[in-house]
Amino acid sequence: MKFRATMALVLPSLLFITVFMVLPLLIALVYSFMTADTYGGVTPPASWAAYRQLLYSEDFDGSLSFDPAYLIIILRSVGLAAATTVCCLIVGLPIAWYIVCQNESRRRLFLFLVTLPFWVNTLIRTYCWVLILRDQGLLNDFLRHIGLIAAPLPLLYNDGAILLGLVYTFVPFMVLPIYAVLERLDTRLIEAAHDLYAGRAQVFRLIVWPLARPGVIAGSILIFAPALGAFLAPDMLGGGKKLMIGSLIQMQFTASRNWPFGAALAVLVTVAVLVALGIAGRRGKLAEFRG
């Protein structure tokens, strides 16, 4: 009876995961080993061409030559996703700690402000950065008005603009997990540390950081995975000149009509995310064991 009740509770979750996660991944995996159809879709026979295309380009005579173009896009995507995670940590940890140090009413206000961007469509928020950063945008006009620059600065359509858009989009995902773990912090520990003549750096290193670490790990996972596959910010703030792997996947399924290559890229992103999750989980268990 107890087993049936447990299965009745677990079965909907398993069904949801199977239909909306496992099955699409299996379809992508199968598509990645097929041959691209001329007008989109896939056709037999099975082929490694999609994975070979990651590193090699095929000439008209069928010979292969090393082409690092896609590898550069993948490395840029990983680098920007990692930089986004680090920047969100640098911004999010002080914000979370500041919110924790406030009284209950101010905490609710600041948490509302942190989650407020979620109420606005991501497309609209990203386009607002285009209006701010473009040559005739608000920022360049302001700098010219106060006399700091004579010509517009190239603030848009570069890696810096993409990074700014990604950090702006994902920083709440770092603030909220860190706040959730620091909220349970006993402030008497801080007071005791100061009574023992510990400085602010020592308090942070010995008390705040160890307690915030689970939230940092959770926030890093929540940010790195979607940032790696993001395509809206690279497309709008990069102007199509600075592709990331998410934009490349979207392009393969639309304009290029190379579904196997797009599926292969999606499989690689999924594997990378799963490896990152496994490493983070292993480190979390090791830290818990040592603690």
Mean pLDDT confidence for 246-254:
88
Distance of CA 75 to the CA centre of its chain: 14
Contact 133, 139 (CB under 8 A): yes
Residue type, 84: T
Question: Of 227, 238, 224, which Cα lies nearest the Cα of 277?
Answer: 224
Lowest mean pLDDT among 104-108, 136-140, 207-211, 256-260: 207-211
> Residue 283 has what pLDDT?
66
pLDDT at 280 over 80: no
- Is pLDDT above 80 for 145? yes
Segments making up each domain of the chain, as ranges: 71-290
pLDDT per residue as tens digits for the range 192-245 = 877 777 777 888 888 888 888 889 988 998 899 889 888 888 888 988 777 888
pLDDT score of 117: 86
What string of H, E and C letters represents the secondary structure of 47-91? CCHHHHCCCEEECCCCCEEECCHHHHHHHHHHHHHHHHHHHHHHH
pLDDT digits (tens, 9 = 90+) for 154-204: 988 888 999 999 999 999 999 999 999 988 877 777 778 777 777 778 888
CA distances from 38 to 29, 151, 256, 257 (A): 20, 47, 10, 7
Mind listing the pLDDT tens digit for each residue in 24-65?
889 999 999 999 888 888 888 888 889 988 888 877 777 788
CB of 271 within 8 A of CB of 290? no
Give residue 30's pLDDT.
93
Mind listing the pLDDT tens digit for each residue in 6-26? 777 788 888 888 888 889 889
Task: Quote the pLDDT of residue 285.
Answer: 58
Amino acid 284: pLDDT: 62
Coil, strand or helix at 208:
helix
| Cα–Cα distances in angstroms (integers) from residue 233 to residues 22, 137, 225, 244, in the given order | 27, 17, 15, 10
Q: Both tokens of residue 268? A: 């690689």
Q: Letter for the amino acid at 118?
A: F
**pLDDT tens for residues 78-120?**
999 999 999 999 999 999 999 988 888 999 999 999 998 888 8
Q: What is the helix (H) or strand (E) element at residue 12, kind and residue range? A: helix 2-17
CATH number of the 71-290 domain: 1.10.3720.10
Cβ atoms < 10 Å from Cβ of 288 = 10
Residue 102 phi, psi dihedral angles, 5° rounding: -90, 165
- CA 20 → CA 23, 200, 223, 268, 274, distances in Å? 6, 47, 21, 18, 17
The arithmetic mean of pLDDT across residues 270-276, rounded, is 82
Rounded to a whole number of angstroms, the distance between the first and last alpha carbons of the chain is: 39
Q: How far is CA 205 from CA 9, 38, 178, 200, 209, in A?
A: 42, 58, 15, 9, 5
Token pair of 31 as six digits: 């598509």
Q: Tell me, what's the pLDDT at 1? A: 60
Distance (Å, rounded) from C-alpha 54 to C-alpha 35? Answer: 15
